[in-house]
Structures are given as structure tokens and as C-alpha cells.
Amino acid sequence: MRLPLLICVAGIFCAASALAQIECQVTVNMEQLPGNLVSDQLQNFKSDIENYINNNRWTNDDLGGEKIRCSLTIFFTSGAGDNSYTAQMFLGSQRPVFVGKKPSAKNTAMLRMFDDQWSFTYVKNQPLIKNETQFDDLTDFLDFYMNIVVGFDYDSYDPLSGTPFFQKALTFCNQAPGSAKGWTISTSGYSKKGLVEELLSAQYNSFREGLFR
């Protein structure tokens, strides 16, 4: 069970330790893009995504130095000179297998997801800023999936304790404009809102409780 941070002895130390809660390895495939975009406009893309995920705070809880580990593979499918891109994403996460109350050297898979509905704007040298109140087709996408990763991780330690993170993921869906690709519920195919509404539905509680068992 994740334990809340109750006492902050040194403000600076606690603020620093609260960061880096996720350790994500990012892989980027740009084979379908023109070479000039890869060498110029996207040369910092991989490091920008990794830094955004790994240096931001995703939960107010103290994880005791433990990091939630995941991998993110991004396949670019198109790009233009106006900084607009489309991509597909594969996301995986894992957590340690515990022997008694101690984590072992073994890991078990927690999450495997594929999303081929991603359109976003990326501007070289423009900082990626975490802002949960204003929709951004790049950072909100990352925010959504990192909350899904954390939610699944929490569910595996304490039944249904990932609910606040799935609820936060839903807020990103609700603030996305109707024209944003892949965010609204679709009658056919995958949508992020459809996924998180199912995770929050009591109908699927037994599935989530099974992650803990």
C-alpha cells in the first residue's frame, strides 16, 4: 500500500524526493519521416519526452525512493514543416515481484497498451510544461498515460487504490476538444475516454481487484 507523506522535515529535500517517481525509457522510430525533420526539428524530441516524464511529479505520495518503471515506444507516421506530427505509441510498465514484504530481483508486467490515434504539435527548443488546466495535444497525451501507469501500479498494491489516477486521466479526456484525434468515445476502434470510463466502471472492479490478488 502506498503511504502518504505526513511529515516534511526539510522542504527542499522533500520536494526533490517527490520528483522522479517514474523511470521511463523512451524509444523513437522516425524512419517514415523526411531526413531533414529528423536531423533538425526532432533532434531533441526523445530527450524532451524522457525528461518530461522522468522529472515530473505524478503522485503526492512518498514512494520511499521506489520508481515506477515503464517503457514508451513512439513510431512517427507523418510530419510536416509546420511542426505537426502523427504517431503511434506502445506503452509498457512493470513492477517488482515481492517475496514477503521485500521486492525481489524479478519483475512482472503490469500494462501493455497500443495507441495509434495521436496527433500533436512539437516545436524544437520549446519547453514542455505540465499544465493540467489547459489542453495540449502532446503533454496531455503523456499526462493521460502516466496516470494510467500509476493507477495500474497502485491497484496492484492496494485494491482499487488507482481510482484517483484514473479519474485524473478522465479529466484530460473531458477537456480535450472534440476535434482532437483519439480522445472522444468512438463507435468503432479505441479511444482514451472509452478506456478510462471502463476502468472507472464498477462492472470492471473484479478485473482491477485481480491485479492485486
Torsion on CA atoms 213, 203, 166, 123, rounded to nearest 10:
120
Q: Is there a contact between 180 and 137 (Cβ–Cβ < 8 Å)?
A: yes
Q: Which three cell numbers stand for residue 139?
A: 503533454
Task: State percent of the chain over pLDDT 90.
Answer: 65
**Does the pLDDT at position 5 exceed 50?**
no
Query: What would the pLDDT profile of 34-91 be if each residue is shown by its tens digit?
Result: 888 888 899 999 999 999 999 999 998 888 778 999 999 999 999 987 899 999 999 9
Coil, helix or strand at residue 72:
strand
Residue 16, pLDDT > 70, answer: no
Residue 8 has pLDDT above 60, yes or no: no
Q: Are 118 and 142 in contact (CB under 8 A)?
A: no
The reported pTM is 0.87
Q: What was the pLDDT predicted at 194?
A: 92
Domain boundaries, the chain: 11-212
| Sign of the torsion angle spanned by Cα atoms 76, 88, 166, 6 | negative
**To which residue does cell 520511499 refer?**
64
Task: Using pLDDT thresholds of 50, 70 and 90, give the confidence band for residue 9.
Answer: very low
